[in-house]
Amino acid sequence: MKRRVFLGAMAAMPLVFAGGAWTSRARSVRWLDLLDERRRRQVLVGRPEFDVAASLRQALESLPDNATLDARDLTGVVDLASDPFPQAQRRAFALRTGEATFRFDFNQGSIALPSRATWQGERTRIEPARPIERVLTDASPAGGLVTTAIAPGLCSGRAGSDTIELSHPVEAQSLMPGMRVAIFGLRETPSLATSLASSIGPQTQEFAFAGNVDSTIGASQVYLRIGEEIVLGTVAQGRLLVSADGRGALGTQPASHRAGAQIVPQLSFLASITGVTGTAVTLDRRLPRTIVRAPFRAGSVGSRLVGRFEIDGSYQGGEAGAFSCLASTLSQDFMVEGEIALSRASHGGFMGFGCSGGQIALASVTAIGRPEKQFGGSIWLYGSASDNRVSAGILSDGNGGIFIDDKSYGVSLYALEGPSDDNKVNIGQILRHRVAGQISGSSGNVVAIGLAQVSDTAFIVDRGVGQSSQAVRTDRNIVEIGKLTGANRVFGDALGETEMRGSFRIEQ
């Protein structure tokens, strides 16, 4: 039997397969050789009594650029006390692991792949060390067991400029050209607009909305523009509770506003980094408004997960945090390939949130979501995710097969909500799902499914009217299903703008 080799066309370092083993044209370092004799013996007998994650992280930080750390001597069950990857770095490196089960307390956070890092697995398994109540991450809502890394910070800039100034030099350590960046509170969203129920003064710290905002911005922390003022607060039961220093946010001035004044939620301004010089960061777009100390997040660029992996969230039903097996927020050119199996998460199998240019190839996605609560998606592209290519051999025993979504109820902390356009998803089989999938408020997407076996709806296509104050554009989408069984309807308010191919022969 021929052994398969999984290499990306743009992998972090050039690899070849020769003589039955991986070899490298660059420097390769065996992790075992970096340990003292006592720790080396512990690893070889499968019982390390030291902090493996800290040791791996220290070793990766010491590698030269484009080098590989070979940690295949780690076998059996390995408990990680923390994330093994260094985050504040701008170098390319690879970590190679073998037949080991890595256990981690994902209630404390995720394992995060930084930019230009490659994780090469050879029968590597990842699972929780204890039941997951929630994944501690600010990358809402894409909390995953394995994620791509996020660089946070604060920035200032002038309207019409393509340059932002970071508030602290340390914030530039992980930034590099090609990264996708979201600056909070700068993007107008008329589709979520509402108005004031009564007049407010410049010191008002709580006010009500006119009309129902439960499905548009309910239960959200959100920036709002009222006239020329930006207000930051949290929505609860139809009212806004203003955050500390939330009046006159982002460099604006607190002001009085009359009853009925329009309120326009402000989502994240998306751009790509073209240059970093000290604390000055150049973007490929100009700022629409002057900002002072605005929060930003930058996603990784060029991260890789390749080889043979099993990522098992161990979710068995009941109450749990909303978590995914594999998640990517704001990433650019994230690549996943090989024999990657995702299973048992309460929220998503692969969750792509605001990512672009991803090449995601999965072998299988199993038992994702909570079908009894109509919650969760095996493949979920969400919140301004664009130009991604996702494939999987089989999706089984889940709630929704494929979701391509502009937003769900409320607005996320990252406020990336917006159309997820021009993505392509190709799935061999969808078995034992409630619905095959949904496209909402997004355009130019292509979904191809060989076989869809569902218990409820074939495919939902809508304009997001249940989540917006006005319809959202949803057109130029193509949905093709080779064979469909079990569905009792095709549902949507934008089916007329969608090309449906295949066996959608359902009596309604």
Q: Please, what is the average pLDDT of the chain?
A: 91
Question: How many angstroms separate the CA atoms of 171 and 178, rounded?
Answer: 16
Question: How many angstroms separate the CA atoms of 157 and 292, rounded?
Answer: 7
- pLDDT interval class at 503 (50, 70, 90): confident
pLDDT digits (tens, 9 = 90+) for 187-217: 999 989 999 999 999 999 999 999 899 989 9
How much is the pLDDT for 259?
A: 98
φ, ψ of residue 10 in degrees (nearest 5): -125, 40
* Cβ–Cβ < 8 Å for 333, 357: yes
Question: How many angstroms separate the CA atoms of 435 and 420, rounded?
Answer: 20
Query: CA of 51: how far to CAs of 41, 237, 370, 379, in Å?
Result: 15, 46, 35, 34
Query: Taking the model in full, what pTM does it have?
Result: 0.92
Average pLDDT over residues 443-468: 93
**Residue 423 CB partners (closer than 8 Å, separation 6+):** 381, 385, 386, 387, 388, 389, 390, 404, 442, 445, 446
Structure tokens at 147: 């994620």
**Percentage of the chain exceeding pLDDT 70:** 94
Higher pLDDT, 493 or 52: 52
Q: Is the peptide bond before 141 cis (omega within 30 degrees of 0)?
A: yes
Lowest mean pLDDT among 112-126, 131-145, 147-161, 234-248: 131-145
Question: How many angstroms separate the CA atoms of 110 and 439, rounded?
Answer: 28
The dihedral formed by the CA atoms of 425, 426, 430 and 434, expressed in degrees to the nearest 10: 20
Quick one: which H or E segment has residue 39?
Answer: helix 37-44
* Cβ–Cβ < 8 Å for 480, 458: no
DSSP string of 174-209?
T--TT-EEEEEEEEE-GGG-EEESS-B-TT--EEEE
Average pLDDT over residues 272-284: 97
pLDDT digits (tens, 9 = 90+) for 336-355: 999 999 999 999 999 999 99
**Residue 1 CB partners (closer than 8 Å, separation 6+):** none
| Residue 91 identity | R
Count of CB atoms situated within 10 Å of the CB of 483: 12
How much is the pLDDT for 76?
A: 95
Of 385, 447, 389, 374, residue with least CA distance to 417:
385
Does the structure show a pLDDT above 50 at 13? no
Question: How many angstroms separate the CA atoms of 35 and 232, rounded?
Answer: 50
Average pLDDT over residues 400-404: 97
The Cα angle at residue 220 between residues 347 and 159, in degrees rounded to 5: 115
How remote is the C-alpha of 398 from its chain's centroid? 19
Average pLDDT over residues 94-104: 98
User: Which pairing describes strands 15-18 and 21-24: parallel, antiparallel, or unpaired?
Assistant: antiparallel
Of 217, 294, 300, 219, residue with least CA distance to 263:
217
Question: How many angstroms separate the CA atoms of 117 and 92, rounded?
Answer: 6
How much is the pLDDT for 506?
A: 61
Report, in angstroms and rounded to the nearest whole number, the Rg of the chain calculated over CA atoms: 24
Average pLDDT over residues 498-503: 89
**Percentage of the chain exceeding pLDDT 90:** 82
Does the structure show a pLDDT above 50 at 16? no
- pLDDT interval class at 11 (50, 70, 90): very low
- pLDDT interval class at 142 (50, 70, 90): confident
Question: How many angstroms separate the CA atoms of 407 and 384, rounded?
Answer: 9
pLDDT digits (tens, 9 = 90+) for 38-49: 999 999 999 999
Question: How many angstroms separate the CA atoms of 131 and 370, rounded?
Answer: 16
How much is the pLDDT for 19?
A: 33
pLDDT digits (tens, 9 = 90+) for 145-157: 999 999 999 999 9
Place of tokens 């994230």: 334
How much is the pLDDT for 505?
A: 65
**Which residues, in sequence order, are bridge partners of residue 209?**
196
* Cβ–Cβ < 8 Å for 233, 264: no
**Residue 440 CB partners (closer than 8 Å, separation 6+):** 403, 404, 405, 406, 407, 460, 461, 462, 463, 464, 467, 472, 474
Question: How many angstroms separate the CA atoms of 333 and 363, rounded?
Answer: 19
Question: How many angstroms separate the CA atoms of 468 and 218, rounded?
Answer: 11
Question: How many angstroms separate the CA atoms of 424 and 457, rounded?
Answer: 21
Quick one: which H or E segment has residue 34?
Answer: none
- pLDDT interval class at 291 (50, 70, 90): very high
Question: How many angstroms separate the CA atoms of 53 and 162, rounded?
Answer: 39
